[in-house]
Chains A and B, each alone.
Chain A
Amino acid sequence: MTQASGIANEQTSTPLSSSKSITLRISRYNPEHDDSSKFMEFSVPYERWTTVLEAILEVKKHFDHSVAVRYSCRQATCGSCGMIINGKPRLACFTKISELNSNVVTVEPMNNFPIIRDLAVKFERLFDTHQKIKPYLIRDDTELTSDEKEFLQSPEEVEQYIQFANCIKCGLCNSACPTMATDSSFVGPQALAQAYRYVADSRDKGKDSRLKIIDDSHGIWRCHFAGSCSQVCPKGVDPAMGIQLLRGYLLGFRS
């Protein structure tokens, strides 16, 4: 365990003047040569608006540049910086240290995703399952002719799916899901919510083929409506709702 209590004496573009500081515990693990993960602790100053991602970047800048973390937009749009923060899956850029109400902030890689290194995880399976449910409009008339107009939708029709179109594929829902904790073959809440997004779209004609894909022994029926996915979603997608509405089609409650 490494203890670093002071800030290294180097030039920084963001001077740290805060008197408040937290202990940031970062999980370190390199599958290529480590047997298990270990935590490194850093004392990081913070302001009311400092996010966990900013704290991690401070560590990279001043203490240990080898900490692996994936990030991009820093505004909860790209879905890159999902991680376990104080035991719960959250976006590091969307979580302020001040709102955690703790002097110790522990960051770990997301559960149920293979670790690349430290806080960076592999997204291949999430993208594979996402692709599996055909995340695009399916129509018989795929070839548009030059005189054709766009597909019109009423605001009510848009309302049916727009919530689910907010998904940024951050993977937090898959990380929180109790079925994903043990079932490597489960499609997962992200993909199931996206299946509903397209099934509920009035322009789409691929309902039957999608329902067939998810009506599998590791498909939609392995969701038990625990709702953890919806509780951690940073974009208000509410995958649990989408999954139950989608299941309504298979149970004959919806057509």
Chain B
Amino acid sequence: MSIFLAQLLTGLAYGMLYFMIAVGLTIILGVMNVVNLAHGTLFMLGAYIAFTFINDEVNFWAALLLAVLLTAVLGLVLEKLLIKRIYGKELEQVLLTFGLSFIIADAIEWIWGTEMHTLPVPGLLSGSLSIGSTAFPLYRLFVVFIGCLLALLLWYLETKTRVGAIIRAGVDDRAMVSALGINVGLVFTGVFAFGAALAGLSGVLGGPLIGMYTGMDSEILVTSLIVVVIGGLGSWKGSFIGAIAIGVIETLGKVWFPSLSMLTVFLIMMIVLIIRPQGLFGREVA
């Protein structure tokens, strides 16, 4: 029984990590209708920036903050220079963000080399909790905690703040919002930077669990695209539920159907889309 509980908890922690990885992508998609294929690369970049600071004896939390800030700034610059030119043009978005991911990933390899790294678990959280006969690392509980916190923050931003109201209105009717004298361009820039910051954040928080290595960006990208699709495009609530479901099902699947583990997430996605072509929480499409 305690093993099953531990596995459930493992799945939950893993799902929360999925949620953090995907949430930036889903927000950008929901608000701006942009598929950001450079998302996985921004995740990777966040981890590497934090790695550099931590190696320079900067405290984990300060490094986390710096990495989030820097990825946000990069997101801001990218939106201002490039992304804003291709709103509404889907194929151009694919090509441009794909190109960007190539450039950033190669720059990372250039700067940091090809060696693999991990981020250390911050000292405070390096212990583990014992559940029956098995141990459960504190850091994973912390990831669950941060994931919930993030969901709460998003809920608050969306429903209780002016920015949230503007964004909700902007998604429905962009022209109307601009007519009200609100600078939609500015909101979009902010949202893109926010999405990039979330990618950076998850990169740092995922660093101790996933590690850093060349080629990780495409794996992260595919994972987050799947979470986004299962949840329904642009619905962060969908991503939240979807991510947890994937985490738990994948973890239990590893034990019950080990030979399927290469396919689990893809199968989940396929089944969801066959039953609900617009994802769990997506809007009905005409």
- Do A and B pair up? The answer is no
Q: Which B residues form the contact surface with A (CB < 8 A)?
A: none
